[in-house]
Structures are given as C-alpha cells and as structure tokens.
Amino acid sequence: MSVEPFHPASNTFWANKRVIVTGGAGFLGSFVTEKLQQRGAAEIIVPRIEQYNLVQPADIERLYNDSLSTHPDKKLETIVIHLAALAGGIGANRARPADFFYINLMMGVQLMHQAWVKGIEKFVAIGTICAYPKFTPLPFREENLWDGYPEETNAPYGLAKKMLLVQAQAYREQYGFNAIYLLPVNLYGPRDNFNLETSHVIPALIHKCIAAQERGDDQITLWGDGTPTREFLYVEDAAEGILLAAERYNQSEPVNLGSAQEISIKNLAELIARLTGFEGNLVWDPNKPNGQPRRALDVHRAEQYFGFRAQMPFEEGLRRTIEWYRQNQSRK
C-alpha cells in the first residue's frame, strides 16, 4: 500500500522562530530539521558534539550564548527541541545503565534550566515510553505514568528522561516557563541505527534477516520468546507530531505520541522476514530478556490537544525502512 507524501503545515508560525534542535543530526532529528526547513523556520541551529558536549553545563551555556547572539537585527523567538539522547535496545541498556542514567539526566536538566535562565520562549522535551511502569494497564494513558517502577532493563534511561517531566511542570508552576513534554513510542524508519550492538528491535531484525540472506544462513536467533508486544511510530510521523506540539501545545500535561497499533515481537519478526524475503527459521533464545511485557498507547490527547494522528501504514513504513537499509547500509 502506498501513501501520499507528507506535506508541511501551511502556516507562518515558524517565520520568526530560531529553533535549537539538540540531536538534530540524528535519526529523528534529521526529519525534524527537514520539516522545519519546509515550514520556513527563520533559523535552525543543530549543535554538534564536537563543539558542544551537552553533558557539560559550561558547553550548554556557551551554546545558548552563541545561538542567541545570531541575527541581533531580527526579533526572533527561540524554541528548543531537545531530541539528543543516549539510547539503545535492551542489550545496550543492560551494558551501560549508569551512562544511560547520567548522560540523559545531565543533558536534559541543564538544557532546560539554562533555557529558563536565558529567557528562551519554549522548551520541547522529548521523553520516552520507557518511563511507563513495567506493568501498565493497556492502552498506556498519561495519568498512569507514576503508578509503578519501569521495566528493569531500561529503568535508568526511562527515569532519567522522566525527570524532564517533573522539571517542566515545576518550572511552569514556579516561573511560568513554557516547557512541554512528549512521550513518543518506539520509532522506526529510514536512517535508523542498524548496529546490532545498540539498535532497537526493528532495525536489528532487518539487519539480521538481510545478513542471513546474504550469507545463506538457514536460521537467525532472536532474543526472548517473542511474546512481548510493542507499538511503533514511523519517524516522519513522529517529527510531524513534535512540530505540531511545538506550534499548538502549551500546557503541563505529558502527551503520548504513537500509532495506536500493537504487534507481538513474534509477529513482527515474521512480518520482517517476509518483507525481506528471508525464508529460514526464527529461533528464539528464552535466556535473553524480553523487556517490558506489553506496550500500546492511548493517543487521544495528541489528537485532542494539537491535532496529531499517525499517517504511515505499518507495513508500508517497514518496506521503506528495508529499502533504505538495502540501498544505504554497508554490511560485513
């Protein structure tokens, strides 16, 4: 099934906006910056780690000083969209829990604090579905965020990102600072990270199926037992949701971004095998962790508050992702 190409919103909201996009050179960030260009943003600033280490408060202050000094002749309002994160799949989270906690916490807390200090007009904080409790009633509703501890393998990451919600609400209450908090579900799409050491489940499955095809293997081994479920959001849909929220949403409640479609990892693996043409066996390793048992979001707030609804059909999104990987990724 094919879909029409995405089109930018027809408005002038961004014409007088300076937008700082942390992580703007990354997977999701590259689509956000492209959409900002399409929408006519006055200035887009993408900090690079070679210039600004966003874990260091001094570098964050320097980033803001440098950014706010551009175009002094123009009266530009500044919006920060904080996408930068140390993220990865279950294996990466288990191997580096301290890094996942410290780096994500320090980046987010200091970026938001200094944005308030510098008088920046709006801060868009991107959280994570990993912030939800391990056993959350389905579909996940934003009011359930505090009903339990996150799934253990990604709790350090989830809690570090969750603190941005606490900070955003506290700074809004005390200072009137316009910070919003969005909770995107698992993303997928072209330009994703396909490194098996750090990737999430969809790019890992695509990598494994295509690599097995090329080697002539008759089976691939997958983590867990295949019973957990996940919801996935196409990266371009996610970028659109973030920008709609930046344009239209100015309240304290967290908001889910998702597709409202749940699929088991077993069914996902079988679907990707079919779409890649891998005809071998899928062997499950139950000694490896499953992660959170189920994930599926209630997405009514996003549509109600800023008119976002996911557009990309899942199988078509997977086809586009697989095609991009075959064309762009060098594999050993």
pLDDT digits (tens, 9 = 90+) for 62-81: 999 999 998 877 789 999 99
Mean per-residue pLDDT, 106-121: 98
Annotated active-site residue 325? The verdict is no
Q: What is the mean pLDDT of the chain?
A: 93
Omega of the bond leading into 139 within 30 degrees of 0 (cis): yes
Token pair for 231? 């919801």
Residue 326 and residue 330: Cα distance in Å, rounded? Answer: 8
What the chain holds in terms of domains, given with CATH numbers, is 13-192+231-260+294-311 (3.40.50.720)
The whole-number pLDDT of residue 292 equals: 80
Residue 200 and residue 194: Cα distance in Å, rounded? Answer: 8
What's the pLDDT tens digit per position in 36-68?
999 999 999 999 999 999 999 999 999 999 999
Is residue 17 within 8 A of residue 67, CB to CB? The reply is no
Residue 236 and residue 233: Cα distance in Å, rounded? Answer: 8
One of 52, 64, 132, 157 is an active-site residue; which one?
157
The whole-number pLDDT of residue 6 equals: 39
Across the beta sheet with 229-234, the strand order is: 186-188, 229-234, 262-264
What's the pLDDT tens digit per position in 211-252?
999 999 999 999 899 999 999 999 999 999 999 999 999 999
